[in-house]
Amino acid sequence: MRATRFGSTSRYVTAAVIGATTISLSLWGTASAAAQNGPDLGQENFVTSPNVRQVANVAATAPLLGGGARSSDLAFTGDYAIGGNYNGFTIYDIKHPKKPTIVSQVLCPGSQGDVSVHGDLLFYSVDARRSDDSCNSVSQNDGSKPYWEGVRIFDISDKANPKYIKAVETDCGSHTHTMVPDKAGTDVYLYVSSYAPSASLPKCQPPHDKISVIKVPLANPSAAAVNSTPVLFPDGGNAGTPGSFPNHYVRQTSGCHDITAFPEKDLAAGACMGDGVLFDISDRAAPRVIEKIQDNVNFAFWHSATFNNDGTKVVFTDELGGGGAATCKPEIGQTRGANGVYDITGTDLGFKSYFKIPRHDSEICVAHNGSLIPVAGKDIMVQSWYKGGVSIWDFTDSANPREIGHFDPLPSRIGPSGTWSAYYYNGYIYSNDGQQGLDVLQINDPLTDEAKSVHQKVFNAQTQYSLRHGNN
């Protein structure tokens, strides 16, 4: 391992050798960048409900700004938040949530950069064909030439100097992944979701009705490898309905977009393009489909899933328009592009209601990533809606969900995407904006105040635990 500093800037280039391959990482921001605070937060750029306020923002910085960079998912461990990006990831120190700082940034391109964390390991999804698995790779969209996509594994024991330790290739890449610990505590499994096969891609052939399961031995993560590729849709899944936004259409199922696991319940819920799926994951290496549902009237693209705290409900989201459309216009209505709330009875998923933010928006406004606010006896979720902002909503009554708070960026807040992911962690809401960096929000409301006493040691949105679990 060697590190070289260039000039007086805070840029380091670190080379790590993996077998015979040299992989270079560019680390920026070791001179911590403090968040903006107080009157300079730019309140003219957003509006909030009376019970929500922005307490900090850490602006996006090079190299994870511009040039194809776009912030994506978030994961948390201890006093740190890890922000994924199409070009790498950022580690933030959030010990003081109102004054977060950047500890390090890793430049290692490969969209879309979904992240999860387990102990000192960070997993990073790459759903883009690259010339090789290194951080120096370049885009390789010609399927006739060698390419790589899949999952990268980093050691983040030293938050200021992450190290790249392993790459695992998966068919069709890794759009998202779900980290699921085994029951013995010796391994973790990554359920890799990917889709969009093509006959022109030798490693992403149709029909691709499967996921990839990676086994990571915790004592030797460099031995991580694909363990199995279970076929979820032997019948082909939803055949889809041709069309495009804003006309009605349903995406054909050819893999999954996202899976959320509830390990202590031995359950997982999958959002698989044209299908919603419930899995039995009692055998971590072999997830088994126990229920499939479709909504060909209102759902266009099953995007993600979130259980309630008791594992008795699932919220599925619909990414109508593919994450780049204005779906919150009055003419679209309140049922298309909405969340679907389902009760779980045995192995059955029973539809109860739709929920969509009550505000109209002519910009990109699409249901996206969110999580529970941990309140015993209540089902309350915080959720990103791109430029529709952050919504806090209550679905305790499955048939009658309602919004209880919001943070809404105005058109004057520049950037193409808006908030990608919004999660509650130890008293605060953290929102990863595609271009505007990390927003820290706080909700003060009798319905959610109890959550401030819940302390979590680690948080991965796609790996849920109940309030009674030792994670809290």
Domain containing residue 22: CATH number:
2.130.10.10
CA gap 72, 76 in Å, rounded: 14
Band of pLDDT at residue 467, cut at 50, 70 and 90: confident
In a domain, 468, yes or no: no
* Nearest CA among 457, 460, 461 for reference residue 471: 457
In a domain, 469, yes or no: no
Which pLDDT score, from 0 to 100, does residue 221 have?
98
Which residues lie below 8 Å from residue 240, measured CB to CB, with a gap of 6+?
249, 250, 251, 252, 253, 273, 274
Q: Is 311 exposed, middle or buried (0-12, 13-18, 19+ CB in 10 A)?
A: middle
In a domain, 465, yes or no: no
Which pLDDT score, from 0 to 100, does residue 412 have?
74
One-letter amino acid identity for 323? G
pLDDT at 26 over 80: no
In a domain, 372, yes or no: yes
pLDDT at 15 over 50: no
Band of pLDDT at residue 44, cut at 50, 70 and 90: low
In a domain, 471, yes or no: no
Domain span at residue 348 reads 2-460
- pTM (predicted TM-score): 0.92
Which pLDDT score, from 0 to 100, does residue 340 have?
98
pLDDT at 429 over 90: yes
| Mean pLDDT of the chain, nearest integer | 90
Number of domains the chain is built from: 1
Q: Is 1 exposed, middle or buried (0-12, 13-18, 19+ CB in 10 A)?
A: exposed
In a domain, 470, yes or no: no
In a domain, 86, yes or no: yes
Band of pLDDT at residue 471, cut at 50, 70 and 90: low
In a domain, 467, yes or no: no
pLDDT in tens, 327-346: 999 999 999 999 999 999 99
Exposed e or buried b for every residue in 100-139, given b needs 16+ CB within 10 A? bbbbbbbbbbbbbbbbbbbebbbbbbbbbbbeebbbbbee
Task: Give the strand order in the sheet containing 258-262.
Answer: 258-262, 267-272, 275-280, 288-293
